[in-house]
Structure 1
């Protein structure tokens, strides 16, 4: 008698897992989109967004000329410098990816953090270049972060962290806006207040003291840089440093140094 065993069942194929290098390349592929946002919005207040090379007028977009949005930051027609320094946006994207990997929050909170970083990176370069934080970048950063964290609350975190994040964002934004009303040009700008709204929402998710820590770190960073620039006589006492980059850096430092649940 022939011996028979249970029928063999073919195991489903295991989907290939992308290597860390492939994931890094996929994230860095977003750099041209962020560089385009910087090029478009890094214009003085009151002017239309930039659509072409400042030297030859060649149109700048994701299709052509591609080199203008690559790491070399050169116009595809005249090879003039366009936008932030070569490799700067790519380095910022890699640093943001490293922050996400080190912080490692739950998936939906990770998505909210990635969303905020995606808008914060071009805001840093725009503010550093022309001292402005455009509404087209600050509002989506805050609104998307708030909505994604609300989804995280519905997914199991509960309403508590989301309500705390909402209050923290509003309070931080009002603090910045009040300084603008009371101090005028010597205070923070309204763009800083709108950026602070998203910062407060993101950090407020983790606790009441976390946004305070982020603000303190941002103030310390701006103070240290200001003192260094004064000591080297690169700026005068009446110079005004853009605060947006320091607020973003303070937020990242807080995410990396604060024990998060």
Structure 2
């Protein structure tokens, strides 16, 4: 079984549809235009574990819905009625959406993986904002990310008539999730959370699609960034040794960095 990503088109042959400028632009535009939905998801699920999802402004109770004038769904992150700050900081979700567009354009995944990457970004970006705000990765975001990523990668493998990349992706996703879940069982709160394990289902699949070295690179970047940020915060006395930083953002950054470096 090959340990590298799906074969690229030979010189003189037509590129796969997802590598064409039109395909990249369509996928990038899809991510960018759903930024209000990303902000809505981040706002609703950024609540303590076991609490009901947020449905309105914390200050005045105005409902948060996708209707004009879109209370709290604009880049300013303010309630449309009382103008109180609510949800992720101003502009952060929109900047993340733009970064996702740049990643889709620059990476140009091989073998039809672009739809899977776009799908994963659409669910993972709000999940990361929830993790930063409430230290949790809700199932309503991580599980659809995993299921859709696996299915879209499977469809890409069928289109290429080569199951090897998908089998490797499934093995990587399941293995990484089991590793994270095992750390929770053995180390308790010192290990990864179950939310991290569920996010790892899709992270491992995406990185594994490109090969085992890319998976290792992504994990090294994630752990390295986590260690670097922890040291900086400790030196600045912003956290203590016992502080548990959310790992979801580092998984997102590590995955993006590995894909950029490997393609």
TM-score exceeds 0.5: yes
Any conservation in 2 of the 1:218–1:251 contact (CA below 8 Å)? yes
**Candidates 233, 255, 259, aligned match of 2:259:** 255
**Candidates 80, 84, 87, aligned match of 1:80:** 84
Instruction: Select the structure with the greater relative contact order (CA < 8 A; seq sep ≥ 6).
Output: 2
Aligned equivalents of 1:22, 1:179: Cα separation in 2: 39
3-state DSSP class of the match of 2:95? helix
Q: CA deviation at 1:108?
A: 3.1
1:237-248 alignment runs, 5 A limit: 237-248=241-252
3-state DSSP class of the match of 2:113? helix
Q: Which residue of 1 aligns with 2:75?
A: 71
Q: CA RMSD in A?
A: 1.9
Q: Which residue of 1 aligns with 2:55?
A: 51
Aligned equivalents of 1:156, 1:114: Cα separation in 2: 19
3-state DSSP class of the match of 1:227? helix
1:1-261 alignment runs, 5 A limit: 27-106=31-110, 108-258=112-262, 260=263
Between 133-142 and 56-65, the greater mean CA deviation after superposition: 56-65
Distance 1:135 1:27, change over 3 A: closer
Q: CA deviation at 1:30?
A: 1.1
Any conservation in 2 of the 1:192–1:244 contact (CA below 8 Å)? yes
Aligned equivalents of 1:75, 1:106: Cα separation in 2: 42
Aligned equivalents of 2:46, 2:217: Cα separation in 1: 29
Aligned equivalents of 2:28, 2:125: Cα separation in 1: 17
Distance 1:208 1:160, change over 3 A: same
The gaps in structure 2 that reach 5 residues or longer are 1-20
* Aligned residue pair count: 242
Any conservation in 2 of the 1:59–1:65 contact (CA below 8 Å)? no
Aligned equivalents of 1:152, 1:82: Cα separation in 2: 39
Aligned equivalents of 1:22, 1:117: Cα separation in 2: 15
Any conservation in 1 of the 2:165–2:210 contact (CA below 8 Å)? yes
Any conservation in 2 of the 1:180–1:190 contact (CA below 8 Å)? yes
- TM (normalized to structure 2)? 0.88
Distance 1:157 1:215, change over 3 A: farther
Aligned equivalents of 1:147, 1:26: Cα separation in 2: 19
- TM (normalized to structure 1)? 0.88
Q: CA deviation at 1:157?
A: 4.8
Larger Rg: 1
Q: CA deviation at 1:226?
A: 0.2
Aligned equivalents of 1:207, 1:22: Cα separation in 2: 26
Any conservation in 2 of the 1:65–1:77 contact (CA below 8 Å)? no
Q: CA deviation at 1:137?
A: 0.5
